[in-house]
């Protein structure tokens, strides 16, 4: 892949069989934003940690986010950082305003519903336990994101059978190609 990637995991830092972990092993030059506390995220702390991770990148990275990582991208964009990214690939955004969200919003609500200042794509499932299809559509519309529905795929994580996820990698590659002249 011909783009700089910064991986943003969600709550609990994904796991060894998660597609983000597989992709990072396949592409060792890709980096991952680190958080002090993966289990009890606080919005302001995570936004600052993301800003620091972007500052360490060469050029403008593409953010590859999953779950709470998608909400982190929206919160970071709203915070008005001077840093720039090339785009965001947002998979299975979690609705931190929904009662079903497992830990409460931890400051990730309200969810920013303004256009993102960079190209973005939202990939969603029709049976994700952490976001309804209608809410995923609302996020994509508000953020100005291209929306891709992938059918019944749960939360698009290892528990849903998404380990290496070559189809997702192909979507990311297409997204990257669309961003580079």
What are 9-26's pLDDT values in tens digits? 999 998 899 999 999 999
The correct CATH number of 5-179 out of 3.40.50.300, 3.30.300.30, 3.30.565.10, 3.40.50.1820 is 3.40.50.1820
Residue ranges of domains in the chain: 5-179
Range in 74-83, 93-102, 158-167 the model is least confident about: 93-102
Quote the pTM value.
0.96
DSSP string, 1-70: --S-EEEE--GGG--TTSHHHHHHHH-TT-EE---S-SSS--HHHHHHHHHHHHHTSSS-PEEEEETHHH
> Has residue 5 got a pLDDT over 90?
yes
Look at residues 64, 53, 59 and name the one whose alpha carbon lies nearest to residue 7. Answer: 64
């Amino acid at each position: 892949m011909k783009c700089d990637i910064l991986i943003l995991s969600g709550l609990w830092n994904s796991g060894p069989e998660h597609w983000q972990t597989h992709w990072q092993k396949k592409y060792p030059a890709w980096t991952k934003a680190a958080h002090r506390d993966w289990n009890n995220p606080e919005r302001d702390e995570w936004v600052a940690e993301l800003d620091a991770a972007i500052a360490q990148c060469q050029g403008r990275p593409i953010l590859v986010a999953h779950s709470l990582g998608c909400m982190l991208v929206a919160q970071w964009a709203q915070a008005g950082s001077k840093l720039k990214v090339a785009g965001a690939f947002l998979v299975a955004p979690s609705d931190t305003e929904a009662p079903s969200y497992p830990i409460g919003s931890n400051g990730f609500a309200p969810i920013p519903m303004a256009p993102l200042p960079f190209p973005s794509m939202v990939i969603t499932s029709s049976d994700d336990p952490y976001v309804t299809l209608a809410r995923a559509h609302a996020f994509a519309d508000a953020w100005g994101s291209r929306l891709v529905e992938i059918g019944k795929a749960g939360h698009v994580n290892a528990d849903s059978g998404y380990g290496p996820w070559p189809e997702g990698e192909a979507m990311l590659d297409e997204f990257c190609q669309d961003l580079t002249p």
